[in-house]
Amino acid sequence: MKVSMHFSIRALCALPLIAVLPPTFATNESSALALPTTESVQAKVMQIGMPMEAQRVAARLQAAMSSQPEWARKYIAEHGNAGKPLPYHPNFQVTESEYRAFLAAALSPSLVQVGTVKLTAEVEKDGRIVLSTEPPTLRVHGVAIQPDRRSVVTPIATLMDSHSIVSNGDQGATGRWSGIQWSSESVARNSIVKFAVGKRANEGDGIIYYDVRAASDDRDQSFYEILLYPLAK
């Protein structure tokens, strides 16, 4: 019997490895759309997670827990404390310094690049801004910001609730950024959809964040996408 990644690694850290964006709040200030103005730009596809070295340590921890399931369950039962990581034990089969570094990375996630795409924000004749990526594999591909900038059409829902937002999350994965967010919540469909376009304060680049949390027929259909891209000076 193996101990699952979900069970063992979360138990080690006492917190999820994947964190959401830093908290944001609405403002009454208007925000210009921080989108590419040239034909296309090279965009980085990002995920919120841990650096590669921390991921390697996580894999070794998982293997150690899986190879000794009875001990792992007993140790977690005896030493698990909500909100606190498990104390180090040699049975983790990593060094104590590696474990401390892993915990620091797990509890303070960062943006990790997982790919690149060409991003285009094309202004149509009717004033809509249609986003496209090459290759067209991302869900951001085809999202359309309406001419009045008050709504966004996605394949999942039309997002009618819009407002300017500011993130003060200096310690968060994305750092400080500001922009516009559109959202839609459906109780009937058990879904929350958010789409944001903004500019990061320290780096000066653009950010697109597309977050869908939905479940139907006992299936989790949630996902998120983050793109970072250069903006015109």
Q: Examine the domain organization and report whether 158 and 123 are in the same domain.
A: yes
Q: Tell me which of 65, 85, 107 is where a domain ends.
A: 107
* Residue 93 sits in the same domain as residue 206: no
State both tokens at 130.
């249609």
Q: Are residues 190 and 201 in the same domain?
A: yes
Is 172 contained in some domain?
yes
Residue, of 81 and 41, whose pLDDT is higher: 41
Q: Quote the pLDDT of residue 196.
A: 95
Q: Based on the domain organization, do 209 and 118 belong to the same domain?
A: yes
In a domain, 17, yes or no: no
What is the tally of structural domains in the chain?
A: 2
Tens-place pLDDT, residues 52-105: 888 899 999 999 999 999 999 999 889 887 778 899 999 999 999 999 999 988
In this structure, the answer to whether residues 41 and 66 fall within a common structural domain is no
Q: Which two tokens stand for residue 63?
A: 């293997």
Residue 3's pLDDT band (boundaries 50, 70, 90)?
very low
Q: Any idea what the Cα angle at residue 196 is, between residues 188 and 173, rounded to 5°? A: 110
User: Do 75 and 168 belong together in one domain?
Assistant: no
Do residues 94 and 172 both lie within one domain? no
Same domain as 190, residue 84: no
Both structure tokens of 28: 């009454």
Q: What are the residues whose beta carbons fall under 8 Å from the beta carbon of 193, sequence distance 6 or more? A: 154, 156, 157, 159, 183, 184, 185, 211, 212, 213, 214
pLDDT at 159 over 70: yes
Q: Which domain holds residue 160?
A: 31-50+110-229
Same domain, 115 and 154: yes
